[in-house]
Amino acid sequence: MRLRRLRPGVLPVDTAELARALLGCILVREHEQGRTTGRIVETEAYLSGDPACHAYAGRTRRNASLFGPPHRAYVYLIYGTAFCFNVSSEPEGEGAGVLVRAVEPLEGIALMQSRRATTLTRELCRGPGRLCEAFGIDRSLDGIDVLRDERLWLAHGDGAGMEVRCGPRIGITRAATRPLRFFAAGSAYVSGPARLNKA
DNA sequence: AGGATGATCGTCT
DNA sequence: GACGATCATCCTC
């Protein structure tokens, strides 16, 4: 597949719109071990002023990327074991972002298999921590501009129509009922409940 | 300096 | 469905 980098301006700045727009886009990771790519099939919006958003309690060293300009990477470690990758949203100064929860593996599957402890394609990138492990994403990429960086960036999808559904976000305790999780209907690579309302 | 917390994952029943 | 691993980060003393 020919990869066409997303140009500045095509992605929304609004958090919920960004979460939907990222579905179908191709996530590209260039690493000295090789390239991995995948189609984004599941995201979650963490809004400005949202109690479930890491930025809710104010700016800290860890979450600073959420407060930066839109479309920067926010990468953090959760439970001491897994990294999570987000794309910041909203104008600079506002703390918000979109968690990328799952991608459909495309290129570099052998590399993903070697980084993860499985050969099952379906399990390689299903879940935010697994996705980061398969793609070699860690805190060294925190703060990069995913529209300009060479190491981790976004490309246009193939344009195939994708039905978007939504439902409650996963794994949180606050504001847990808001339907801010978005995913591709019918995809086998989605990490959570897959039969929910139309978005 | 110490304690609580967590947007997860793999394993087990 | 439940549970424990594991640790950077943040807050409070």
Beta strands in chain A (DSSP E): 26-31, 34-46, 73-78, 82-88, 97-105, 152-155, 164-167, 181-184, 197-198
A86 touches strand B (CB under 7 A): yes
**pTM score:** 0.95
Task: Using the structure, give the distance in angstroms from the CA atom of A163 to the C1' atom of C8, rounded to a whole number.
Answer: 38
Q: What is the pLDDT of residues A176-189, one digit of tens each?
A: 888 999 999 999 99
Residue A40 contacts residue A171 (beta carbons within 8 Å): no
- Residue A84 is encoded by which pair of tokens? 């999570």
Q: Is the pLDDT of residue A194 over 80?
A: no
Task: Using the structure, give the distance in angstroms from the CA atom of A53 to the C1' atom of C12, rounded to a whole number.
Answer: 22
* Nucleotide with C1' nearest the A63 CA: C9
Q: What is the pLDDT of residues A80-132, one digit of tens each?
A: 999 999 999 999 999 999 999 999 999 999 999 999 999 999 999 999 999 99
Task: Using the structure, give the distance in angstroms from the CA atom of A129 to the C1' atom of C11, rounded to a whole number.
Answer: 26
**Class of A15-192 in CATH:** alpha beta
Extents of the domains making up chain A: 15-192
Instruction: Report chain C positions within 7 A of protein CB atoms.
Output: 5-11
**Which residues neighbour A179 within 8 Å (Cβ) at sequence distance 6 or greater?**
A166, A167, A168, A196, A197, A199
Task: Using the structure, give the distance in angstroms from the CA atom of A11 to the C1' atom of B3, rounded to a whole number.
Answer: 41
Spatial separation of the C-alpha atoms in residues A36 and A94, rounded to whole Å:
31
- Residue A148 is encoded by which pair of tokens? 């300009």
Residue A126 contacts residue A190 (beta carbons within 8 Å): yes
